Chains A and B, each alone.
Chain A
Amino acid sequence: MTAVRFAGISKTFGDIVALQPTDLDVASGQFLTLLGPSGSGKTTLLNICAGYLAPSAGCVIVGDKDVTRIPARARNMGMVFQNYALFPHMTVFENVAYGLRVRRIDRAEIERRVTDTLAMVQLGGFGDRAITRLSGGQQQRVALARAMVIEPDILLMDEPLGALDRQLRKDVQLEIRRLHIARPRTTIYVTHDQEEALVMSDRIAVMRAGRIVQAGSGRDLYERPLDVFVARFLGESNLIPGIVASLDDGTAGLRVDGLTKPIEGRATQGLCLHQPAFALIRPESVRPIADGIQATVVERVYLGEIIALRLRLPNAQELWCRRFAAEIPDSPTQAIGWDRAAVSILPELSPEERNQVLC
């Protein structure tokens, strides 16, 4: 079942297009992440969903109700802000209770729900604390509790972990994931951090320049990116430029200067024969092969059980390779190759985006 549907939603500020007409469905109970660099329109889309911004066109449908003209305060959405936006003059308890008091829920019920929610985010016993006496991680959890306690139709989060240090961020990511699995709520999460997106999401929508470039599971996006932008944004990638030399039935061959044989791989939508394209080979797919391409080792990075090699191909193209240490002989040159199934041939821009650029 669809919990939220964005239909033709767009937003312009004067001459600036913050969001191109966008369609997106979020299934009930799904954790969807809007992933993209700053200025890609992800926060705009989130704020339109919350009702903080009115779209220039299109509508937002929650359940089967069009909420486009319903003000933020009547939408029943729980928002977690980037800087938490906790009320500094209230205690932890009062912050979490705020939305319930607004809803005129009786005292005993408020007490019970706030206490339960604080326990859920592991802040039991913190109710009387002043907000200013909490650490960043604790403040983040108060913000989460405040948004969840009202049983929102949709939980919205705008880069909520940005202010935390790296280790804490990892802990909180897993905690949010656990909370979501224990009690799935429809969630829209905004981040520019690909790892965060991969850890937490059921589905990821990659955004760029006010558009959703591709939406799918983390695995889909990693293994079958539609274009170079998505490939670069998720995970590490080797992208080798060339010219499409053959194209048939889902397979493409890419002619690359300085390599004797074209690189073959799965053809992605939008390729044209004799046009420039890229071969995507993930570093973990590059491996030693007895009769492979002779590559020079430019750099060898020891990462514990993994070794990363920066290799130079005969055409001066560089490639990263990540293998278990035991697989890599200690020599200045390596014969390397890859499985055809692990290679994608990609256009620089997805067909849809190319249309945008041409328009």
Chain B
Amino acid sequence: MAGRVALSTFAALVGAFLVLPILAVIPAAFNASSFIRLPPEAWSVRWWSVFFADPSWRRALFTSLQVATLACGLSVILGTAAALGIARLGGRTRQIALAVFVGPVIVPVIVLAVALYSLARSAGLVGTVTMLAIAHTMLALPYVALNVGVSLAALDPRLAMAATGLGASPARVFRTITLPLIMPGVIGGAVFAFVTSFDEVVLSVFLAGPQVKTLPVRIWEEIRVEYTPLVAVAATIMIGLALAAAAASRLLQRRAA
């Protein structure tokens, strides 16, 4: 019994260790003073109006949303296609293909960042939404491919055979049978992709420009100058979006299933 209590306490402590720093940011965003203090001495939404009044913060938020949406769309299309292709391969080829597609997640991001930076520079793409979206897609695509791959593995190949036998073209089989049935994986992958792009900072620092920077880059710049509750506001917005994305995916997955 005592052992049980000790174990539960330990588990609760680990949980707190993981969650508290995240939760601590939220009250900090509603602080009236100019410094981050916990708990806040007076509650206020003052810093929220400052945040939204400042064009550089607004632009950063908008850029982040733009890049995340683009990267999410691109990685969903390419990642799903990759998963479908990999599922058809056998044996060694499959192992190699998997390694290639999961590679960007395993390679240290800083290496990827340096490589992409030199590439982007020669192409004149540094500081563009396009380049940021392409870079984020490299990180997000493997999550989509893996998520969809799991859904595909659970899909009975005879369903597609049955539809084919009934006269359906490959495109129709995909649209009416395969896609609806792997939808939970696609949605899960899309959320992963969106969130991955939204909070990515290393590649973004390298590839951002004076006019085009994502929210995490803007936060990073801010805290190098001063440590104001504005950073907490930005962080709270990011947490809120991540939670909203997760909730939306649960809802969509339940409907798709």
Contacts and interface: CB of A to CB of B under 8 A. Distances in A.
Q: Do A and B bind each other?
A: yes
Interface of A: 50-52, 71-79, 81, 83, 85-89, 98-99, 102-103, 146, 150
Nearest to A80: B162
Nearest to B168: A102
A253 B211 CA distance: 102
B167 A73 contact: yes
Interface-centre pick from A73, A81, A88 (highest chain B CB count, 10 A): A73
By CB atoms of chain A within 10 A, which of B162, B165, B180 has the most?
A: B165
B156 interface: yes
Contacts of B77: none
Nearest to B161: A52
A77 B168 CA distance: 12
Contacts of A78: 165
Contacts of B159: 85, 87-88
B158 A73 contact: no
B166 A146 contact: yes
B172 interface: yes
Given A76-B167, A102-B172, A146-B166, A81 B181 contact: no
Nearest to A103: B167
A150 B166 contact: yes
B237 interface: no
A50 B162 CA distance: 10
Nearest to A75: B165
Count chain B CB atoms within 10 A of each CB in A74, A85, A150 and give the residue with the most: A85
B169 A73 contact: yes
A87 B175 CA distance: 13
A72 B165 contact: yes
A110 B163 CA distance: 17
Contact of A73 (B156, B164, B177, B180): B164
Interface of B: 156, 158-159, 161-169, 172, 176-177, 180-181
Contacts of B168: 73, 98, 102
Contact of B166 (A51, A89, A102): A102
A146 B165 CA distance: 11
A150 B164 CA distance: 13
Contacts of A103: 167
B164 A85 contact: no
B162 A83 contact: no
A146 B177 CA distance: 15
Nearest to B172: A102
A98 B166 contact: yes
Given A85-B156, A88-B181, A74 B167 contact: yes
A72 B180 contact: no
Most chain B Cβ neighbours within 10 Å, of A50, A71, A74, A79: A79
Nearest to B163: A98
Nearest to A102: B167
Q: Which of B168, B169, B180, B181 has the most chain A CB atoms inside 10 A of its CB?
A: B168
A85 B181 CA distance: 13
Contacts of B176: 98
A103 B167 CA distance: 7
**Most A C-beta atoms less than 10 A away, residue of B166, B167, B177, B180:** B166
Given A81-B158, A83-B158, A85-B156, A99 B181 contact: no
B247 to A, nearest CB: 23
7 contacts: A73-B165, A74-B167, A85-B156, A87-B159, A98-B176, A99-B166, A150-B166
Nearest to A78: B165
A87 B163 contact: yes
A244 B168 CA distance: 58
B162 A79 contact: yes
Which 9 A-B pairs give the minimum distances between C-beta atoms? A99-B166, A85-B158, A85-B162, A102-B167, A79-B165, A73-B164, A102-B168, A72-B164, A89-B180
A81 B156 CA distance: 12
A52 B165 CA distance: 8
Contacts of A73: 164-169
Given A83-B156, A89-B181, A77 B163 contact: no
A81 B163 CA distance: 12
Nearest to B169: A73
Nearest to A98: B166
Nearest to A100: B166
A71 B159 CA distance: 17
A71 B165 CA distance: 9
B180 A150 contact: no
A73 B166 CA distance: 6
Contacts of A75: 165
Nearest to B165: A79
A234 B12 CA distance: 66
User: In the complex, which of the residues B156, B167, B168, B180 has the most CB atoms of chain A within 10 Å of its own CB atom?
Assistant: B167
A52 B166 CA distance: 12
Given A79-B161, A87-B163, A88-B159, 6 more contacts: A52-B165, A72-B161, A73-B169, A85-B162, A87-B159, A87-B177
